[in-house]
Structure 1
Amino acid sequence: MSDTELRQEADAVLAGLVGDHEGTARLRTDQWRAIEALVADKRRALVVQRTGWGKSAVYFVATALLRRRGSGPTVIVSPLLALMRNQVEAAARAGIHARTINSANQEDWGTIEAEVAAGEVDVLLVSPERLNNPDFRDQVLPKLTASTGLLVVDEAHCISDWGHDFRPDYRRLRTMLAELPHGVPVLATTATANARVTADVAEQLGTGGGTDGQQEPGAAAALVLRGSLDRESLSLNVLRLPDASHRLAWLGQHLTALPGSGIIYTLTVAAAEEVSAFLRQCGHKVASYTGKTENADREAAEADLLANRVKALVATSALGMGFDKPDLGFVVHLGSPSSPIAYYQQVGRAGRGVDHAEVLLLPGQEDEAIWRYFASLAFPPEDQVRRTLDVLAASDRPLSLPALEPRVELRRSRLEMMLKVLDVDGAVHRVKGGWTATNKPWKYDADRYAWVEQQRQAEQRAMRGYAETSDCRMEFLRRELDDEDAAPCGRCDNCAGARFTVEVEEVQVAAARGELRRPGIRVEPRKMWPTGMQSVGLDLKGRIPVQQQASAGRALGRLSDIGWGNRLRPLLSPQAGDGPLPDDVLQGAVTVLTEWAKGPGGWASGAADAMERPVGIVAIESLTRPQLVRSFAERIADIGRMPLLGAVTCVDEYGVAAGPRSNGAQRLRAVHEALTMPPELAESVAAVAGPVLLVDDFTETGWTLAVAARMLRQAGAKEVLPLVLAVQN
């Protein structure tokens, strides 16, 4: 078949994909170049093009052409469920049968795998996490690799640890690339890769086809197609407002003026919930969308936004990649992301199918504290990695995450990320039942990890620069992505003048301030001991007996929210020092107590089944903020006219003052050995024989409250009601 005939066939498939019944749709030049490379030349290609350019059209058209020529199914490795759902629907329009294997459809896996084996599936979309599942990796992946007609790596920047959104599961692709049969084309796509990430991904695509994973002699290098990253429809704006109340009030007042429907991004789950609650109170139809949103609720929220039944989704980065709504009219960031590359990706959701879309950044004072928190979750220091390897090597059986977690100083999510990296590096292996050490030599690449951290710091400086620049904002973003054609856009607030006022009605500010300053977060008690505590010398397992549990408590706020969090973070930071509890924070805590008492089941509610009123207060001694906690307990005792019974004391033999341990099991071990019940406190608790209020500064894992409550219950407290200033998450 000639190039002309192949191009005509490709354009015809495109027409079906986009619903063009007139048959006038034509591929872009670089779309055709990529398809020709994949279908005619069986090459590997990397396409770096802006969101909305049509990267998915490349792999769907290529799939149709390859399948007609007898090739096996296309395998697309895709990071988000939203993207998968959109792409299955798009594929169907072109007569392409697509199926997905991901965490949301486990009951269908067997049927889908059988359909693939029978040749009934044209496209199989797989989440990257599947690549590291032992059953899938050992049983399904080898057969899939052998029969694949086209491998697509979507959001390919995730394959590179230089990228802003590195995901360790993507590293498994390196093995798959090396094991693909000769002549199987590979396509990688992304909208957010600077020159460094582009080179890294292109280099990894160049491997494969040989038994040693190296590029075969004479094989063509990966074709890199990199286009302009300008987005002609986007108007970028930065609005600097005095505080969180003004930012929230601005949204409440001006949301209806923004075109169409859109997305409001926040940096944390807590902020997303706060913002969506306030906007609903203002009469706006919005829904929240975070990593904690149930899958069914996510699907409903996506459908509502697609159908314009809501004005906006208030979302975290869980909605960052893959959501496809061409007529999205605006993207607002309430809080600044830490990377201009990540920011460009998220704002790229807007304006794909409309002439004009508004993009607004409302930076906040809490942004950098949140950046520091997420940066703390990076690859662990060498001593922690070596400790994990030693524990695995000493075990005569595989260790699951719950079994391994109590023996190492890592929280489970971070531990799992580290193990996935070590798996690809060959130091550990994931098997049924957990993880094993391979005992192969392994080097901690400190220089590389330090360099990645330097790049993270550079991106943060660039994001500050974006918010502060007086030059063109789109040009700034394009330069950060190494777009050689970057030039002033003529549309942003710096080029064309501000289109939005920062003025906000005082009544709206007061309403926002009232919402953000409304105190009171429910603190759920611990009800189960962590698994594996016997391995660290504690005979604690299973359910905590009800007669030893704390009751549900209360906190003034979350450290991660944009209301009380902004007040509490400076007060409770390691650099804050110690001192008496400030009056405004005390008043907030008193309001929490008052609403708790009068609320459903509260001791002042008058309900028949109401809890008893606390008869005394107990503090948890603090080694880092003794004045703060002591004054908190004393002033609540005075206001509530309850006796201060004493304090659960803390010794620092186990390093409790150094800060919370990084996983629940380690934290429980530390506080279990460090907290003690003075005899005089035990006598006082037994004497009052009623509920007690347990006061502390903040809680992260909940184990300090759980251990102290257990002591108090064993001493005779009828109920233990925790009251803290802040919860960590």
Structure 2
Amino acid sequence: MSATERTQIRAQAQAILEQLAGPQATLRDDQWVAIEALVVQRRRALVVQRTGWGKSAVYFIAAKLLRGEGHGPTVIVSPLLALMRNQVAAADRAGVHAATINSSNVADWDDIHHRVRGGELDVLLVSPERLNNPDFRDTVLPALARDAGLVVVDEAHCVSDWGHDFRPDYRRIRTLIAELGDGIPVLATTATANDRVVDDVAAQLGVGGGDTLVLRGGLDRESLRLSVVKAGSPAQRAAWLAAHLDSLPGSGIVYTLTVAQAHDIAALLREHGHPVAAYTGATEAAEREQLEADLLANRVKALIATSALGMGFDKPDLGFVVHLGAPSSPIAYYQQVGRAGRSTSSAEVVLLPGREDQDVWRYFASVAFPPEALVRKVIRELGVDRPLSTAALEPLVDLNRTRLEMVLKVLDVDGAVRRVKGGWLSTGQDWTYDEARYRKLDEARKREQQAMLDYQNTDGCRMAFLRAQLDDPELGDGERCGRCDNCTGARYDAVVDANAERDTRQRLMRPGVELTPRKQWPSGLEKLGLELKGRISDGPAAGRVIGRLTDLGWGARLRRLLDEPDAKVPDDVVQAAVQVLAAWDWQTRPTAVMALDSDTRPLLITSLATELARLGRLTDLRVLRYAPARRPATAANSAYRVAALHGAWSPPDVSDVSGPVLLVDDVTETGWTLTMASRVVRAAGAPAVLPFALASVS
């Protein structure tokens, strides 16, 4: 291609950029290098550039140019619904016909597939999970792989080792890329990748090697002012946030580590008069879209969010990002703070770390990839000719639904199983449990957790620290940002007004969380010898717990209590239980109380039941004793757990009971223990059972 032709193509690229970003936008040289590699040279490229660099502009411009030359549609694999919505809007501004396939627009899938086959779409955005949907994989994907003009893997760091924790579906992309027709360019983009992740992405996607363009720029964010505020206890940190939120510029995001914390902090801040809302992975898709629109339009001061609001959410003037609790890695932290200050001269980034952060890190690490014996049992239970659905497979293996689905996806990527209509099949291929890889992953995870602790305590430049953790190639020796609290010496005051702290603690420590009863038996119980199916008609009523172990209020107190040796229940916990009972809007007041038998905390549970009987003037039915032949119920899988709990207790004597029984336990995790125990008490003659526990796991 001549120099004149290249000049003409660059001029076209500049015109498309102006449609995307406005007439003031100018195509940077490094953006043109990437576009030229894809459009002119038809090469593969890996672009690792900071948030706000303009990676999406590169692939939309390339898509439009390639379509203009008669090539097929661009396929963009994109991880989050928020990202997809923003990208479709951007495509429309540039005159690019785009559509998205994801879990929130199921009714549109058939029409979109038809438009793809008819050549009506320039860009198709798909979630990684969609790549292995049998219909999509078998009827749509082959044509796309053959005829695509460009394949883009956005947020490509998800392909890396963390893939089996975050999205194992991302690792399927290598299969798509391997099946591409000759000369189809591939672009992988991310803002958050250190050397380890870059190498792994290159290996996973086949975008390494001598012919691949690697564009890796500096990661400094000149608008961000990084600070760490060690404000103390959860109540002190929440009070600090309530006191300082109005002084933070514009509108922003407050990140928490758990769903429970997001809701607790949102409620607390609203009580202080701040217009905020909670945004988590449990938020319905339509509500998420409305909340994003509210933040974009500055109708809220902040969204109190988990990591569900992250990659791809684009509000150029986002004024601040606050973390109430530290993420477990500098990569995750840099990714989230990168939401702020994209088009502003200054944005505030504040970390409020807590001692309990490491407890949350350990919990999420504990639900990573299961041990080899469990994984091999999954493979053994699958046949090669008759598929099993996930629901049918669940009673056959001791994995809960979430972990089982993760294992199946990883095995699918590894070629040991295959998803088909109706469920999953074994491929019969040999499979190796990569213990060395998982051990290496665990070691890397621990190093990155330590790095987050080091970030909190460093007296050096905080931006330089993060850039070093991400192996920024442009970071110079001794370089400092000149903006963070350590560079300027300008720090937020961590001291919290004593009255505000006391008020916040009282609000956070208001005990009482509703415990929703189990309403449906897990499928497949007949395979475990139990004739139980459909709706549960003889279980407990709705119950209560004092608090969740992940709460910012009662969470820390309950975790401390449960870590101590078994002893009589402390007075403060009794008083909290009384408050919960006093606020309980039951239809009929309980007339009796009974403690669940326990191998680990018998004194704690029975003393609580005794105190509640005394204070509430209830009949003390003592303890629901284990049956002699009872088996310990250690299973995580619902069907296995129900089977182990069936027959676990001896029938009690409730002949003198005239009303509901309050059934007391220490911790509830799945709800099955209280459900199965309640059935025993009801079968003995109790008219109703009200479950009560000190804590719930989540």
- Specify the TM-score bucket, using the shorter chain as the normaliser: over 0.9
Contact 2:78 2:128 in 1 (8 A): yes
Deviation at 1:87, TM superposition (A): 0.7
| Counterpart-to-counterpart distance in 1, 2:10 and 2:417 | 47
| Counterpart-to-counterpart distance in 2, 1:156 and 1:466 | 25
Confirm whether residue 80 of structure 1 aligns to residue 80 of structure 2. Answer: yes
Deviation at 1:95, TM superposition (A): 0.7
Deviation at 1:258, TM superposition (A): 0.2
Map 1:489-638 onto structure 2 (within 5 A). Answer: 489-545=481-537, 548-573=538-563, 576-596=564-584, 599=585, 602=586, 611-638=587-614
Aligned to 1:710: 679
Confirm whether residue 478 of structure 1 aligns to residue 467 of structure 2. Answer: yes
Confirm whether residue 229 of structure 1 aligns to residue 219 of structure 2. Answer: yes
User: Tell me, what secondary structure is at the counterpart of 1:508?
Assistant: helix
| Counterpart-to-counterpart distance in 2, 1:482 and 1:179 | 32
Which structure 1 residue ranges, 5 or more long, are not aligned? 208-214, 603-610
Against the structure 1 CA distance between its residues 652 and 319, is the aligned structure 2 distance closer, same or farther, given a 3 Å change threshold?
farther
Deviation at 1:162, TM superposition (A): 5.1
- Deviations 1:283-306 (CA, angstroms, capped at 9, x unpaired): 000011001111111111000000
Deviation at 1:676, TM superposition (A): 2.7
Contact 2:518 2:672 in 1 (8 A): yes
Aligned to 1:12: 15
RMSD: 1.6
Deviation at 1:533, TM superposition (A): 0.6
Contact 1:286 1:311 in 2 (8 A): yes
| Counterpart-to-counterpart distance in 1, 2:458 and 2:627 | 50
User: Tell me, what secondary structure is at the counterpart of 2:589?
Assistant: coil
Against the structure 1 CA distance between its residues 194 and 652, is the aligned structure 2 distance closer, same or farther, given a 3 Å change threshold?
farther
Deviation at 1:572, TM superposition (A): 2.1
Aligned to 1:276: 266
* Letter matched to residue 77 of structure 1: V
- Equivalent of residue 664 in structure 2, options 692, 695, 698: 695
| Counterpart-to-counterpart distance in 2, 1:53 and 1:235 | 18
* Letter matched to residue 440 of structure 1: Q
Contact 2:228 2:350 in 1 (8 A): yes
Against the structure 1 CA distance between its residues 273 and 702, is the aligned structure 2 distance closer, same or farther, given a 3 Å change threshold?
same
* Letter matched to residue 618 of structure 2: M
| Counterpart-to-counterpart distance in 1, 2:143 and 2:453 | 48
Aligned to 1:641: 617
Contact 1:164 1:342 in 2 (8 A): no
Deviation at 1:687, TM superposition (A): 2.3
* Letter matched to residue 396 of structure 2: R
Against the structure 1 CA distance between its residues 204 and 242, is the aligned structure 2 distance closer, same or farther, given a 3 Å change threshold?
closer
- Equivalent of residue 399 in structure 1, options 347, 367, 388: 388
Greater Cα shift, 641-650 or 409-418: 641-650
Deviation at 1:106, TM superposition (A): 0.5
- Equivalent of residue 667 in structure 1, options 635, 641, 650: 641
User: Tell me, what secondary structure is at the counterpart of 2:300?
Assistant: coil
* Letter matched to residue 648 of structure 2: A
Deviation at 1:535, TM superposition (A): 1.0
* Letter matched to residue 414 of structure 1: R
* Letter matched to residue 598 of structure 2: S
- Deviations 1:392-415 (CA, angstroms, capped at 9, x unpaired): 14x862111111111111111111
Deviation at 1:177, TM superposition (A): 0.5
* Letter matched to residue 587 of structure 1: Q
Contact 1:237 1:498 in 2 (8 A): no
Aligned to 1:134: 134
Deviation at 1:186, TM superposition (A): 0.5
Contact 2:419 2:425 in 1 (8 A): yes
Confirm whether residue 91 of structure 1 aligns to residue 91 of structure 2. Answer: yes
Map 1:117-516 onto structure 2 (within 5 A). Answer: 117-161=117-161, 166-206=166-206, 221-393=211-383, 397-486=386-475, 487-516=479-508
* Letter matched to residue 571 of structure 2: D
| Counterpart-to-counterpart distance in 2, 1:11 and 1:465 | 43
| Counterpart-to-counterpart distance in 2, 1:492 and 1:433 | 55
Aligned to 1:605: none
Contact 2:72 2:148 in 1 (8 A): yes
Contact 1:623 1:650 in 2 (8 A): no
| Counterpart-to-counterpart distance in 1, 2:591 and 2:428 | 58
Deviation at 1:165, TM superposition (A): 6.6
Aligned to 1:608: none
* Letter matched to residue 715 of structure 1: A
Against the structure 1 CA distance between its residues 165 and 443, is the aligned structure 2 distance closer, same or farther, given a 3 Å change threshold?
closer
- Deviations 1:112-168 (CA, angstroms, capped at 9, x unpaired): 111111111111100011012111111111112112100000000011115797421
Deviation at 1:580, TM superposition (A): 1.1
| Counterpart-to-counterpart distance in 1, 2:224 and 2:315 | 15
Contact 1:326 1:350 in 2 (8 A): yes
Aligned residue pairs: how many?
692
Contact 2:131 2:169 in 1 (8 A): yes
| Counterpart-to-counterpart distance in 1, 2:297 and 2:127 | 26
* Letter matched to residue 21 of structure 2: V
Deviation at 1:109, TM superposition (A): 0.6
User: Tell me, what secondary structure is at the counterpart of 2:595?
Assistant: strand
Contact 2:388 2:423 in 1 (8 A): yes
| Counterpart-to-counterpart distance in 2, 1:115 and 1:562 | 49
> Once the two structures are aligned, what percentage of the paired residues are identical?
61
| Counterpart-to-counterpart distance in 2, 1:650 and 1:129 | 44
| Counterpart-to-counterpart distance in 2, 1:522 and 1:698 | 14
Against the structure 1 CA distance between its residues 653 and 481, is the aligned structure 2 distance closer, same or farther, given a 3 Å change threshold?
farther
* Letter matched to residue 294 of structure 1: E
Aligned to 1:211: none
- Deviations 1:355-401 (CA, angstroms, capped at 9, x unpaired): 000000001122111111110111110010011111114x8621111
Deviation at 1:220, TM superposition (A): 5.3
- Deviations 1:78-110 (CA, angstroms, capped at 9, x unpaired): 000100111111111111111100000000011
Contact 2:593 2:663 in 1 (8 A): yes
* Letter matched to residue 50 of structure 2: R
Contact 1:157 1:190 in 2 (8 A): yes
Which structure 2 residue ranges, 5 or more long, are not aligned? none
Deviation at 1:698, TM superposition (A): 1.3
* Letter matched to residue 665 of structure 1: A
Contact 1:50 1:229 in 2 (8 A): yes
| Counterpart-to-counterpart distance in 2, 1:672 and 1:204 | 46
* Letter matched to residue 65 of structure 2: L
Name the TM-score, length of structure 1 as normaliser.
0.93
Contact 2:231 2:496 in 1 (8 A): no
Name the TM-score, length of structure 2 as normaliser.
0.97
Contact 1:202 1:224 in 2 (8 A): no
- Deviations 1:550-608 (CA, angstroms, capped at 9, x unpaired): 111111001111110111112224xx321111111111011111111xx4xx3xxxxxx
| Counterpart-to-counterpart distance in 2, 1:106 and 1:151 | 23
Aligned to 1:212: none
